[in-house]
């Protein structure tokens, strides 16, 4: 398994990394974004959307659970499962339809549903590197990409 790590020193760098990833995405690709509140999951998704040619403003879909953005070639399904605790709710929010859908999925707080998501996915771990920041400054972020399955390996290799 060939994981890759990046350190971003500003929001724009996280967005730029997301853009590179977004340009590679295809229908059926599943990204599981894991990290604390404010780690940068939504900022990374903003970049992914930009890389797919999406011009809409991407925000955290916490209250909507799912946002669908129309890209140049295909839609992006952006989930935030923070408020969900029961896998039975996934069916109602169209989760499985999106996984099989005509565009990739980016799933914030998806780790708790890894059984439902399935084995083929790209896990993305975002971490605030607090010990690397001066007092009062935003810390850099580590973005660690851990592929599961041949397709996710290909995505990571392409970065």
Ligand X SMILES: Nc1ncnc2c1ncn2[C@@H]1O[C@H](COP(=O)(O)OP(=O)(O)OP(=O)(O)O)[C@@H](O)[C@H]1O
The tokens describing 18, both together, are 């997301």
- Minimum distance between the CB of residue 83 and ligand X, rounded to whole angstroms? 11
- Minimum distance between the CB of residue 150 and ligand X, rounded to whole angstroms? 28
Comparison of 60 and 112: residue with beta carbon closer to Mg ion: 60
At 95, give phi and psi (nearest 5°): -65, -50
- Minimum distance between the CB of residue 64 and ligand X, rounded to whole angstroms? 12
State the binding partner of 150 from ligand X, Mg ion, none, CB within 5 to 8 A by kind: none
The CA distance from 110 to 149, in Å, is 17
- Binding-site ranges for ligand X (CB under 6 A): 8, 10-11, 13-14, 35, 37-43, 60, 108, 138, 140-141
Exposure b/e, 92-122, CB count within 10 A at least 16 = b: eeebeebbebebbbbbbbbeebeeebeeebb
**Interface with Mg ion includes 34 (CB under 5 A)?**
no
Comparison of 35 and 71: residue with beta carbon closer to ligand X: 35
């Amino acid at each position: 398994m060939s994981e890759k790590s990046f350190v971003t020193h500003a929001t724009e760098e996280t967005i730029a990394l997301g853009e590179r990833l977004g340009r590679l995405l295809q229908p059926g690709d599943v990204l599981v974004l894991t990290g604390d509140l404010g780690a940068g999951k939504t900022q990374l998704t903003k970049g992914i959307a930009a890389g797919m040619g999406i011009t809409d403003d991407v925000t955290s879909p916490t209250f909507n659970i799912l946002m669908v953005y129309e890209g140049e070639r295909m839609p992006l399904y952006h989930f935030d499962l923070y408020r969900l605790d029961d896998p039975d709710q996934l069916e109602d929010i169209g989760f499985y339809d999106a996984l099989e859908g005509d565009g990739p999925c980016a799933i914030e707080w998806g780790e708790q549903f890894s059984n439902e998501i399935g084995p083929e996915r790209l896990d993305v771990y975002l971490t605030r590197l607090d010990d690397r920041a001066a007092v009062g400054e935003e810390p850099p972020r580590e973005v660690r990409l851990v592929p599961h399955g041949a397709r996710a390996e290909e995505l990571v290799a392409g970065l």
